Amino acid sequence: MRFMIIVRSIPEFEAQATPSPDPAVFDAMLQFHQELARAGVLLDASGLHPSRKGWQVRHGQGAPRIVDGPFAEAKELIAGYTLIQVRSRDEAIEWSRRFPNPVGEGKPATVEVRQLIDLDEIQADGPSVEAFRQMLQA
């Protein structure tokens, strides 16, 4: 089972000109991710640049539109992520409970955890689903 641990952004992250994490937070993140790696459950992890360096693709009538950042609500944005692969939801909960506060001890922060959909869970058959399976196994 794969899970994404999602770090929600805050206005301070969005305002930074360059990434400048608090050294104590960065050390705590390093130690946590080293534990994940030693346990063999870490798949990937990274921070994201502020939304002003990104864009959205908006679909509707006509051709898709590109809308440049920044985007309004920092609390709705993602500042970083960690991907893990574990045996159960309970194991993912235990790892996420240990995730360091991404903005510093005692400060409000939100870390969301979502399970990734495996292709075996999709209740559809057909050439597209099978082609996805083959592509991802390569």
Using the predicted structure, report yes or no on whether residue 118 has a pLDDT greater than 90: no
3 state SS of 130: helix
CB contact set of 15 (below 8 Å; sequence gap of 6+) = 50
CA dist 30 and 26 (Å) reads 6
What pLDDT shows up at residue 17?
Answer: 76
pTM: 0.86
Strand partners, 56: 67
Q: Torsions phi, psi of 85, nearest 5?
A: -125, 115
Strand partners, 84: 3, 42
Chain segment 52-92, per-residue pLDDT in tens: 999 999 999 999 999 999 887 766 899 999 999 999 999 99
CB contact set of 117 (below 8 Å; sequence gap of 6+) = none
Chain segment 17-30, per-residue pLDDT in tens: 777 788 999 999 99
